[in-house]
């Protein structure tokens, strides 16, 4: 018989057990019913990992389909959760030294990254497959391999390097940091996607869950209005001119006056978006959009337009230019030459400051201001590039007695290069001010192509006035200050400008100059407008007519012989044959030595080095049927399109042709075109497009 005390203990134990079971059951019920979803989510989080799917960043093309910017996948190597108990500092040093022998990087920088405080550190980034294999073949690699993580990373590549570098800008890790890449980052970057992967206890992926996947939306591809061949030509000639005149810098803007397309936008110093860290921040600026300056006599377009459009003057009206000097209070404005009396036409052909001032005074402040605003000065053009400024144009209420006369000749007002180029486009196209256009079309992720139409801002002048002005500006090149812009076989219209630079403190002017020329080509029916500005030429002249006008000449002479270029007009030789059909022969050595290229202002002659002369300056027209010596046998230029750079250079070298290479990869275009007759020693430009 069980003792009562034992029975009580058993009863108590059973009661406690029942209470514990009830509590446990209650807790299980809470976990399953109330907190069940929370714990299931925690389990899923431990068993799954969300992987971000990066979209492909949109490509950027020029107007002819040449790739200007694209994203290319490279290998990147990182190190994660390194067990420092297994490795000595000597082991890490050996790995760093071996990596540095491949990448060229300072091994100390690699050691610093490995020794970082984060769980994951990059060893090297963005290496090509060949370099990736070399890294895997290092003797130290197997020891570190369990801790090394490799991944595919996209890096932005700019095949044409410095060509249009400021315009394109650059992006890092999928985000635009400057230029077009920054301004249109959302358009180019697309939208991220994601995918869910199941992982094991060591967090290693072993299966993908297709039900939990959202594809990335790739960025849009963009076709710019830029013609990269014209851009390269503009940059090359600008660079030569800056070196020749030992100038501080400069810019060139080329536009199509018919639709406002920006065909080229070059500025110096240059910038390579592939290696942005090697250039100062200032080099990233798109100077034709960001920098404003006093334009000098190129601004006389306002006075000329207002005088003719209002009917206040005709071209035949005579202006007393007072011997080339006019006194306005304590200020004296003078001409670059002595003129007593000029017609209105001659005032602008010879860029008379005194004559322009008298015309402006007759027009009055209100009229002059209205036409200045009508041309778009003092406001942004709306070009789709970052950092555009308004320029400086004060309202007449803030003008002093000297503002109108000085503004009429391009002082006391600041403009951007793109504003001034757009103003001359209005003359070239019959009187319409167009919004400068940098985007030609956009291709969306779904393949839809969205063209960007031209945008007319307003009509600045009547077509008849534009026609008269075009004739006046043709006279500037024919017999005025812009004769050095003349191109054989064509009529050219344009306007020169020379302006002192203001002091940085705003008090007066320095003796440094900006030399400018804006040309419209050909004058009969302009296909392009080209603005050239050279900043602070130090030697061989400073006038716009002798510094900037020759730059225009050299650029255009390259364009007229460029296949698929922006100029379609064909020049004619003296015998009526198109120049591109006439054969060419080098001048004799004595002829070349005696040849003088006048890049200087009147009274200062300078000899241009032969390697800086344009091709056309080194060749003379040979009449059909003329004989050439056997040592100058002419051969047909072979096609190298589709070849690698090495194959193309070798093929051309076999016939004595030197290759000028633009870009990398495979040849997509060559200038001159295949089949053209060439002589040994000539050059052939080959444009290459990689990764297509």
Q: Which residue has the tokens 């497959």?
A: 129
Distance CA 610, CA 618 (A): 8
Find, among 659, 621, 619, the residue nearest to 640 by Cα. 659
CB neighbours of 624 closer than 8 A, spacing ≥ 6?
Answer: 577, 582, 583
CB neighbours of 444 closer than 8 A, spacing ≥ 6?
Answer: 220, 450
Say if strands 221-224 and 60-61 run parallel, antiparallel, or are unpaired: parallel
- Helices 129-136, 89-103: axis angle to 10 degrees equals 150
Tokens, residue 468 = 């008269």
Q: Cβ(57)–Cβ(171) under 8 Å?
A: yes
Q: Cβ(534)–Cβ(498) under 8 Å?
A: no
Q: Cβ(438)–Cβ(383) under 8 Å?
A: yes
Find, among 469, 618, 479, 614, the residue nearest to 553 by Cα. 614
Judge residue 598's burial from the number of C-beta atoms within 10 Å of its C-beta, 0-12 exposed, 13-18 middle, 19 or more buried. middle
Find, among 545, 548, 539, 538, the residue nearest to 512 by Cα. 538
Q: Cβ(634)–Cβ(678) under 8 Å?
A: yes
Judge residue 217's burial from the number of C-beta atoms within 10 Å of its C-beta, 0-12 exposed, 13-18 middle, 19 or more buried. middle
CB neighbours of 667 closer than 8 A, spacing ≥ 6?
Answer: 640, 641, 642, 643, 644, 645, 648, 686, 687, 688
Q: Cβ(500)–Cβ(410) under 8 Å?
A: no
Bond into 522 cis (ω within 30): yes
Instruction: Give strand ranges (E) for 353-422.
Output: 415-416
Paired strand residues for 261: 437
Say if strands 67-80 and 60-61 run parallel, antiparallel, or are unpaired: antiparallel
The three-state DSSP-derived secondary structure of 190-249 is CECEEEEEEECCCCCEEEEEEEEEECCECCCEEEECCCHHHHHHHHHHHHHHHHHHCCCE
With b for 16 or more beta-carbon neighbours within 10 A and e for fewer, the 654-677 pattern comes to: ebebebeebbeebbbbbbbeeebe
Helix then strand count (H, E) for the chain reads 22, 32
Q: So which residues are the catalytic ones?
A: 297
Find, among 63, 77, 283, 70, the residue nearest to 171 by Cα. 70
């Amino acid at each position: 018989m069980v003792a009562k005390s034992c029975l009580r203990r058993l009863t108590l134990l059973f009661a406690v057990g029942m209470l514990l079971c009830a509590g446990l059951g209650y807790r299980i019920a809470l976990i399953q019913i109330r907190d069940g979803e929370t714990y299931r989510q925690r389990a899923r989080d431990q068993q799954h990992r969300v992987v971000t799917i990066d979209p492909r960043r949109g490509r950027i093309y020029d107007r002819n389909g040449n790739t200007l910017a694209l994203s290319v996948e490279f290998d990147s190597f990182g190190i994660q959760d390194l067990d420092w108990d297994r490795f000595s500092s000597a082991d890490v040093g050996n790995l760093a030294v071996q990596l540095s022998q491949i990448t060229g990087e300072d091994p100390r920088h690699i050691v610093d990254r490995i020794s970082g405080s984060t769980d994951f550190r990059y060893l090297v980034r963005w290496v090509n497959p060949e370099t990736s294999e070399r890294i895997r073949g290092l003797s130290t690699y197997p020891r570190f391999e369990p801790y090394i993580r490799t991944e595919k990373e996209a890096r932005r590549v700019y095949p044409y390097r410095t060509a249009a570098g400021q315009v394109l800008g650059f992006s890092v890790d999928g985000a635009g940091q400057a230029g077009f890449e920054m301004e249109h980052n959302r358009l180019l970057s697309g939208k991220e996607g994601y995918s869910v992967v199941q992982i094991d206890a060591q967090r290693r992926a072993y299966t993908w869950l297709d039900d939990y996947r959202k594809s990335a939306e790739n960025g849009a591809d963009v076709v710019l209005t830029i013609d990269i061949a014209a851009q390269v030509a503009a940059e090359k000639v600008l660079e030569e001119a800056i070196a020749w005149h030992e100038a501080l810098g400069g810019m060139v803007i080329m536009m199509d006056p018919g639709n406002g397309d920006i065909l080229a936008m070059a500025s110096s110093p240059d910038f390579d978006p592939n290696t942005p860290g090697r250039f100062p921040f200032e080099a990233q600026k798109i100077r034709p959009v960001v920098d404003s300056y006093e334009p000098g006599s190129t601004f006389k377009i306002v006075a000329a337009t207002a005088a003719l459009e209002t009917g206040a003057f005709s071209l035949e009206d005579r202006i007393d230019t007072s011997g080339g000097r006019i006194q306005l209070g304590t200020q004296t404005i003078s001409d670059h030459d002595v003129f007593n009396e000029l017609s209105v036409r001659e005032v602008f052909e010879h860029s008379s400051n005194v004559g322009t001032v008298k015309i402006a005074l007759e027009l009055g402040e209100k009229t002059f201001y209205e036409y200045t605003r009508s041309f778009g000065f003092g406001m942004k053009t709306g070009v789709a590039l970052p950092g555009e400024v308004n320029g400086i144009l004060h309202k007449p209420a803030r003008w002093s007695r000297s503002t109108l006369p000085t503004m009429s000749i391009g002082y006391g007002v600041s403009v951007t290069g793109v504003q001034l180029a757009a103003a001359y486009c209005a003359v070239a196209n019959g009187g319409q001010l167009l919004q400068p256009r940098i985007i030609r079309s956009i291709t969306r992720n779904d393949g839809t192509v969205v063209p960007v139409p031209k945008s007319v801002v307003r009509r600045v002048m009547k077509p008849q006035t534009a026609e008269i002005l075009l004739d006046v500006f043709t006279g500037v090149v024919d017999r005025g200050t812009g004769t050095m812009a003349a191109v054989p076989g064509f009529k050219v219209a344009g306007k020169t400008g020379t302006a002192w630079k203001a002091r940085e403190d705003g008090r007066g002017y320095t003796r440094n100059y900006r030399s400018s020329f804006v040309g419209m080509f050909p004058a009969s029916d302009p296909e392009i407008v080209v603005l050239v500005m050279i900043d602070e030429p130090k030697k061989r002249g400073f006038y716009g007519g002798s510094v900037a006008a020759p730059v225009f000449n050299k650029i255009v002479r390259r364009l007229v012989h460029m296949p698929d270029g922006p100029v379609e007009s064909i020049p004619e030789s003296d015998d009526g044959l198109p120049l591109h059909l006439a054969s060419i022969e080098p001048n004799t050595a004595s002829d070349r030595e005696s040849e003088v290229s006048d890049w200087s202002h009147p009274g200062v002659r300078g000899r241009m080095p032969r390697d800086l002369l344009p091709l056309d300056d080194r060749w003379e027209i040979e009449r059909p049927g003329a004989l050439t010596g056997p040592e100058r046998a002419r051969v047909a230029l072979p096609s190298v399109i589709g070849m690698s750079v090495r194959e193309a250079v070798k093929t051309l070298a076999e016939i004595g042709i030197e290759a000028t290479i633009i870009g990398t990869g495979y040849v997509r275009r060559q200038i001159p075109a295949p089949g053209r007759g060439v002589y040994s020693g000539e050059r052939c430009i080959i444009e290459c497009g990689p990764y297509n």
